[in-house]
């Protein structure tokens, strides 16, 4: 297109020219980290502004969050408890998102995984006197299997009928919650309350405090065996994504589906498999929450872990090992957020962080060059 010629009188022109150019090379890792950090600081400032507008004291709010989540060994342990489901759900999202498969249904897969684990105890599949390891094994399998089924449905619909997985996974969330509620209210209700009976001790995941006799410092620490699940899963997902053929194909489909198709990779098969794997991870998160924290089936088992997992995955740039670290930070936010007024603040912080993150991607793809205007 030809240069626009201005025939009017010459007017004042800014002596510098700001131009935006696409980056041709990959940015170094420190730069990407810096941008992410900048986005987080920016969002915390915006949140501070909003808190000030609604009449709160932003700095006291932040100080409270820091103290209530990292102030002592006890609360650090509580932070880890909140971080465990986030790690697993964050991994579930990272795996699916890497293929650009938008599994927004981790929340539902979490609930249905919790249902599966509870069913082992409540049906009951095993007698109460069965050994703990057998309970944990069966509960984990049931949680993962049901989560995988919950992932299979949208995956299959996407592969077979090209049904938008964002909407189908989201709808499955609501279905999972209603499904759980039916069992909580109608089948396993204990004494008219909207919860099942307390599970016997043999079904509980071991916690640090259980070993207080041997290691006195563990007394009162509630971090549970789910952490082992989460860390193992992080390593396994990392190995799958970056060290296996399957992971290579997943990444190829994510980066360039057309090239993947030409290379003979079946996108449909991978769609179903990845959704199932993703669902299984989120289901395991539900199982670990039931076995490690709640010890009964009830309605309020998740403060939106499934949705926070999306932000965790994105903040970690879909890197499974980074998911672990980011989860701890968001675990802190959820833990401390319970006492903050107004109660929506943790959700708002998450939303603003995600918006700033997405916007900050711009600086990774483009560079802003400021050059002095030449004489014309």
Partner 1 sequence: MDLVIVIQAGVASGTVLLFATLGELFTERSGVLNLGLEGMMLIGAMSAFSVTVATGNPWLGLVVAMLAAGLISLIHGFITITLQSDQVVSGLSVSFLGTGLSLVLGEGLSKAGTISLLPKFTIPLISQVPILGDIFFTNQSVMVYIGYLLVPLSWYYINRTRPGMHLRAVGEFPAAADALGINVYAQRYFYTFVGGIMCGLAGGTISLAISPGWFSELTTAGQGWIAVGLVIFSQWDPYRAMLGAYTFGALRRLILDIQGPTMLLGFSNPFYYNPYYGFFLQMLPYAFTIIVLVLGSREAMRKRMGAPAALGLPYIRGQRGL
Residues forming the site for partner 1 (CB under 8 A): 1, 50-51, 54, 102, 104, 157, 161-164, 166-168, 170-172, 174-175, 178-179, 181-182, 185-186, 307, 310-311, 314, 341-352, 354-355, 357-359, 361-362, 365
CB of 125 to partner 1, least distance (A): 23
CB of 133 to partner 1, least distance (A): 34
Report CA 24 to chain centroid distance, whole Å: 31
- What the block records as the tokens of 233 is 């899963």
Q: What contacts 309, CB < 8 A, 6 or more positions away?
A: 86, 88, 89, 90, 92, 93, 106, 282, 285
Contact 29, 339 (CB under 8 A): no
Picking from 128, 104, 133, 51, the residue whose alpha carbon sits closest to that of residue 340 is 51
CB of 289 to partner 1, least distance (A): 21
Query: Which CB sits closer to partner 1, 135 or 150?
Result: 150
CB of 176 to partner 1, least distance (A): 9
Query: Which CB sits closer to partner 1, 254 or 292?
Result: 254
CB of 180 to partner 1, least distance (A): 9
Query: Which CB sits closer to partner 1, 70 or 183?
Result: 183
Q: Which phi and psi (to 5°) does residue 208 adopt?
A: -60, -40
Query: Which CB sits closer to partner 1, 76 or 355?
Result: 355
Q: What contacts 14, CB < 8 A, 6 or more positions away?
A: 373
Query: Which CB sits closer to partner 1, 54 or 134?
Result: 54
Q: What contacts 298, CB < 8 A, 6 or more positions away?
A: 184, 194, 195, 196
Report CA 311 to chain centroid distance, whole Å: 6
The radius of gyration computed from the CA coordinates of the chain, to the nearest angstrom, equals 24
Query: Which CB sits closer to partner 1, 328 or 354?
Result: 354
CB of 80 to partner 1, least distance (A): 24
Report CA 354 to chain centroid distance, whole Å: 12
């Amino acid at each position: 297109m030809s240069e626009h010629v201005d025939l009017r009188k010459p007017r004042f022109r800014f002596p510098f020219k700001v131009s935006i150019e696409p980056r041709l090379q990959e940015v170094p890792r420190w730069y990407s980290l810096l941008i992410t950090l900048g986005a987080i600081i920016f969002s915390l400032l915006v949140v501070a502004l909003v808190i000030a507008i609604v009449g709160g004291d932003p700095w006291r709010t932040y100080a409270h969050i820091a103290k209530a989540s990292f102030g002592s060994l006890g609360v650090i342990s509580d932070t880890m408890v909140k971080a465990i489901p986030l790690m697993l759900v964050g991994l579930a999202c990272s795996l699916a998102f890497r293929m650009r498969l938008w599994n927004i249904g981790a929340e539902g897969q979490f609930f249905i995984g919790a249902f599966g684990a509870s069913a082992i105890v409540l049906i009951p599949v095993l007698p109460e006197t069965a050994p703990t390891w057998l309970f944990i094994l069966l509960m984990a399998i049931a949680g993962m299997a049901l989560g995988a089924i919950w992932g299979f449905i949208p995956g299959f619909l996407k592969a077979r009928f090209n049904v938008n997985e964002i909407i189908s996974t989201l709808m499955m969330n609501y279905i999972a919650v209603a499904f759980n509620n039916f069992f909580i209210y109608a089948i396993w209700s204990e004494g008219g309350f909207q919860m099942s009976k307390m599970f016997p001790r043999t079904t509980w995941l071991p916690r640090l405090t259980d070993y207080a006799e041997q290691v006195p410092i563990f007394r009162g620490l509630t971090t549970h065996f789910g952490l082992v699940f989460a860390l193992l899963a992080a390593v396994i997902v990392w190995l799958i994504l970056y060290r296996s053929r399957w992971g290579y194909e997943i990444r190829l489909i994510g980066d360039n589906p057309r090239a993947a198709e030409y290379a003979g990779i079946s996108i449909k098969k991978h769609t179903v498999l990845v959704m199932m794997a993703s669902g299984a991870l989120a289901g395991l998160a539900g199982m670990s929450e039931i076995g490690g924290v709640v010890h009964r089936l009830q309605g309020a088992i998740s403060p939106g872990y499934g949705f926070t997992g999306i932000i965790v995955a994105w903040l970690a740039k879909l890197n499974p090992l980074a998911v672990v670290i980011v989860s701890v930070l968001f675990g802190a936010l959820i833990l401390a957020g319970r006492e903050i007024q107004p109660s929506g603040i943790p959700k708002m912080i998450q939303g603003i962080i995600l918006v700033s993150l997405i916007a900050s991607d711009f600086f990774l793809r483009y560079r802003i060059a400021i050059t002095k205007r030449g004489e014309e």
